[in-house]
Amino acid sequence: MIAEQKHPEAELNRATARNSTITTLFSRTYEDNVSGKLSDEMFMELSHKYEVECFELKTKIFECKERIAKISEMKQNKDDFLRDVRNFMEMDSLTASMLCELIDHINVYEKKDGKKNYT
């Protein structure tokens, strides 16, 4: 689980760093265009390239953040489950509150032969 979380975090860090670099490059390109070092045609070509890459990076950053949140939630659920299992392994007797915690719900429905079925 930890290895799964490190990959999206590393990917997120790379995408965030590249996004910052793109912002800097775009600024420099604009300044070079204004000062006459870069033609309008080249500026348009580069700015379009940077905009496309920036959009892709923002999408990637969003997806990485979602994956990290999902992995974190799964880890929390696992930890909660293990904690609950340990608590129930150490119990001496079953109380009503423990039973309520163990059983989420009971479905009761009638079978075709008229007998009730419990699940």
Tens digit of pLDDT for each residue in 66-86?
A: 999 999 999 999 998 898 888
Query: Which is higher by pLDDT, 13 or 99?
Result: 13
Residue 99 to residue 94: CA distance in whole angstroms: 7
Enumerate the β-bridge partners of residue 117.
Answer: 109
Q: What is the CA radius of gyration of the chain?
A: 28
CA distances from residue 21 to 16, 70, 85, 113 in whole angstroms, order as listed: 9, 28, 48, 71
Contact 64, 15 (CB under 8 A): yes
Task: Please give the mean pLDDT across all residues of the chain.
Answer: 87
